[in-house]
Amino acid sequence: MPQIPSLVDDRVLRPAQTALGLGLVSRMDLLRLKGIARVYARGLPPEMAWEDMLQEALTRIVTGSRRRPEGLTTVAFVAGILRSLRAEYWRRATRGCGGNGRGAIGHEGEESRELALPDPAAGPERTLSARQELIAIRQLFAGDPTILKIIEGLGEGLSAEQIRHAAGLSRTDYDSARRRMRRTLLREGLTCTTR
């Protein structure tokens, strides 16, 4: 008697894999969104990781709870969802701390002394992890001084134009170095994991 294949697929796909599979985002869009998610996750406590924010944003698109308006790019749309998630977190955190202005600067009284807001500074684990990642990236690009200058500029929060000026790079040299960075990171599997 022939075996009937199972009609149930028991694989668990993450929202990023689903979005890639459905063609909602490209691999480059996903890379851009990861960078945007990292920016929006800054200052949030460790339990609110950028990966979780991005997965939640993509889940809302896949499930249909958020629909992309006509003419809006997917990256801009997901960035808006990420911004909303961040605002939603802080709204809940403020409400959880009592709301009604208790967290306002200059509020006097006994209740304000008891207010404990989460510390936005990185803890020792996050600091160590970030330091290890930075060392690994510097080792990866040790043979390319142009890329190392760009990384230093990005770490200082400089814009592309400021980095080009400080490093003495033309627009073409800067763009070429950024493409080399992107290709190397992709090749090493350091940016676009779709587990």
In this prediction, residue 168 has a pLDDT band, given cuts at 50, 70 and 90, of very high
Is this model's pTM higher than 0.75 or not?
Answer: no
User: What Cα–Cα distance (Å) separates residue 90 from each residue in 36, 108, 121, 146?
Assistant: 18, 22, 15, 39
Query: For the segment 128-148, what is each residue's pLDDT rounded down to a tens digit?
Result: 777 887 788 888 889 999 999
Token pair belonging to 140? 């990866």
Considering the chain, tell me which residue range(s) the CATH 1.10.10 domain(s) occupy: 123-195
48-75: b or e for each residue (b if 16 or more CB lie within 10 Å)? Answer: bebeebbbbbbbbbbeeebeeeeeeebb
Using alpha carbons only, what angle is made at residue 103 by residues 99 and 105, rounded to the nearest 5 degrees? 145
CATH architecture label of 123-195: Orthogonal Bundle (1.10)
Name the 3-class secondary structure at 118: coil
